[in-house]
Amino acid sequence: MYRKIVDRIKDKSIVLVGFGKEGKSSYNFIRKYLPDKDITIVDKNEKLKEQNDFLNSDNHVRVILGDSYLDTLDDYDLIIKSPGVKIPDEIFNVVRDKISSQLELILEVDRENIIGITGTKGKSTTSSLLYEIIKEQGIDCLLLGNVGNPILEYIEEIHEDTKLVIECSSYQLENVHYSPHIGIIVNLFQEHLNYHGTLENYWLSKLNMFKYQSKSDYRVFNSENDNIRNMLARSEYHGIEVDLSKDFTIDGDDVIYDNKVIYNRNSKRNIIGEHNFKNILFILRVCIILGLDLDKAKETIKNFKALEHRMEYFGTFNGVRYYDDAIATIPEATINCIEALNDVDTLILGGLDRGIDYSPLIDYLNKAKVDNIIAMPETGYKIVDKVANKNIFKVETLEEAVKIAKKVSKKICLLSPAAPSYNAFKNFEEKGQRFKDLVKED
C-alpha cells in the first residue's frame, strides 16, 4: 500500500504543516521511502530544531518557524497538514485544493477497505469495539486514526485485503476530498467551536464522512439525533442510507432486525449506559453489512472493557467508588455518565471555556440527585453559579478538588469535566491520570 502513496507524492513539492506526532510520522514516512526528497517543514514553535536535532543533519529539509510559518504555503504542490493546525481563512482560501493529510492519503488509495467512524462523543469506544469484533472473527484488521498512532506508522501492515477501522476527528475530516466505503457518524453535538468558529463549520467537517461517497458506499447514522437529521436534510448524499432508527425496531428491551431479535438492551456488558447501548447498535449494523457472525460479535461486546478515561472505574477507596471520565468535554457526555452510574453523589467538573451552551447540564444538575459539585475553572464556576440546593465547592486545582471529594463523598465520586482540559493540563489523558494518582494517594 505504501507504494501507491509514494507514487502519489514523489513528484510533488511538499510542505509539512505542524511537526507534532503526526507531522513527525509524515516526515519519517517520506524519509524512509523517498530519502533524497526535498521537503519543507513549517511550525510555529521556534525551538523545533533544538528539540529535534536530527533535522539539523538532514540536507534535504528546509525548516520555517515562528509566527509567519504559514506565509509560503502557496509555493508548494502538496500541503500535508497535521490535525489541529488552523490555517487562517485568507491563506486557506488560496491553498485549499493543495491541502492533504495522512487520512486523505490513505482514503485516496484504499477507501474500499476503510470503515470511518466519527461523532462528537463515542467514536473511540465504537471504533475500538468494532475493531475487536472484526479481529476476533479472523479478519486482518487495523485500528487507526484519532484513537491511536498516526496512520502512516502502520503502512507496511496494510495489505490489499486489510480492513481499516479509522476514528476520524473533525480536524482530520475538515479538508478531505474522499470518503470511506462505510462511513459512520454516531452523533453531533456542540464542540470545538474555538477551532471551527461556528457550529455549522464543525458539523460540516463531520459530514465529509459522507460527502464524497458513491452509490455503492454506506452512510450509517441515527436520525434520532436531531442535529444529524437536520444537517443531512440540507444536502444530497449518494451513499446507501443506513438509518438505525428505521433499520432497527426496539420492542421493550429487544433489538429487532429483519424480524429477528439480534440483541437485548440488558445483555451483560462492561460498557454501561444508554449512550453505549446506542454505540452498540451502530456496531451491530456494520457487522450485518460486513456479514459477520452476530453471536461471536455479541460475545466480544460482552467482554469489552471501557477505554481509559471514559467512564473508567479504577477503584474503591474508603467505601467510595471512583470513576475517571476525563474524556467528557461537552455537557451531554457528563449527563450520560451520571445517568449510567446512577449513584453519583460527588461530581468534579470544569475546564476550558469555548463558549458552548451549558444550559442542558445546568438544568440537569438542578434536578439530579448529585449532592456535591466541585467546580474548577473556567466553566465549572459558570455552571455552579446557576445550580441551587447542592453542596457547592469552588476550587482552583485538581488537588484541592480531590481533597474535598475524599471528605464529602459517600457512594460515587466522578470526574467528568464537561469541558476540555487545556486550560490546566496538556490533554484529558493527563488530567485523568492525575486524578487517579491523587485519589490513590494516602
Contact 235, 257 (CB under 8 A): no
* Residue 146 pLDDT class (50, 70, 90 cuts): confident
Q: Cell 458506499 sits at which residue?
A: 217
Among candidate residues 107, 291, 299, the one with its CA nearest the CA of residue 208: 107
Beta bridge partners of 69: none
Confidence (pLDDT) at 1: 83
User: What is the DSSP annotation of 159-184?
Assistant: -TT-EEEEE--HHHHTT-S---SEEE
Peptide bond into 378 cis (omega under 30): yes
Classify residue 143 as left (phi > 0), alpha (psi -120 to 50) or beta: beta
pLDDT tens for 19-30 read: 999 999 999 999
pLDDT tens for 32-57 read: 999 999 999 999 999 999 999 999 99
Q: What percent of the chain has pLDDT over 90?
A: 95
pLDDT at 236 over 80: yes
- Work out the angle at residue 278's Cα, subtended by the Cα atoms of residues 201 and 337, and round it to the nearest 5 degrees: 85
Confidence (pLDDT) at 147: 78
Confidence (pLDDT) at 195: 81
Cα(374)–Cα(357) distance, integer angstroms: 20
Among candidate residues 380, 282, 279, 397, the one with its CA nearest the CA of residue 331: 380
Single pTM value for the model = 0.92
Mapped onto helix, strand or coil, the DSSP state of residue 425 is: coil
Domains, the chain, with CATH or none: 2-100 (3.40.50.720), 103-303 (3.40.1190.10), 312-440 (3.90.190.20)
Cα(149)–Cα(252) distance, integer angstroms: 40
Which of the 8 DSSP states describes residue 88? P
* Residue 264 pLDDT class (50, 70, 90 cuts): very high
Cα(312)–Cα(294) distance, integer angstroms: 27
Confidence (pLDDT) at 277: 97
Cα(277)–Cα(283) distance, integer angstroms: 10
- CB neighbours of 111 closer than 8 A, spacing ≥ 6? 178, 179, 180, 181
